[in-house]
Amino acid sequence: MVFKYKRKTERAQGRDENVMNRAINSINQRETSIRGAVLQFRIPYPTLLKHFLKQPSKKQRFRLVFSGDIEQQLVQHIQEMDARFYGFTKQDLCILAFEFANRNNLPHHFRNGTAG
């Protein structure tokens, strides 16, 4: 005897990806909270939370202080000093980066006279 499964409900069939994207966008733009979006778009809370947490984060982990050109100048200076057998410790490099940012009047978030 062959048994064929027959679905008894159509709960998730009507859910559109467009509705899910609109709900996530409204949460990202701080128009509604997650619970508010659940009520507004009629999506189950666990489903919306799962899709909301699954999206990649757009925040940068670190704020950049030096642009590519300025960083290259700093690297070149360090390499020249290394070629002259002037060794740098990690602490020396942090102090050097702090002084380099101050001399070039760059906005930075360094404290205590050292970077990092």
Residue 114 phi, psi (nearest 5) = -135, 155
Question: pLDDT by residue for the chain (116 residues), tens digit each?
Answer: 678 888 777 766 667 788 999 999 999 999 999 999 999 998 999 999 999 999 877 666 777 788 888 889 889 988 998 888 888 888 988 888 888 888 888 888 787 888 87
Give the Cα separation of 21 and 108 in Å (integer): 37
Q: What is the pTM of this model?
A: 0.47
Query: Between 17-28 and 45-54, two packed helices, what is the crossing angle to 10 degrees?
Result: 70
Supply the pLDDT for residue 48: 92
Supply the pLDDT for residue 23: 94
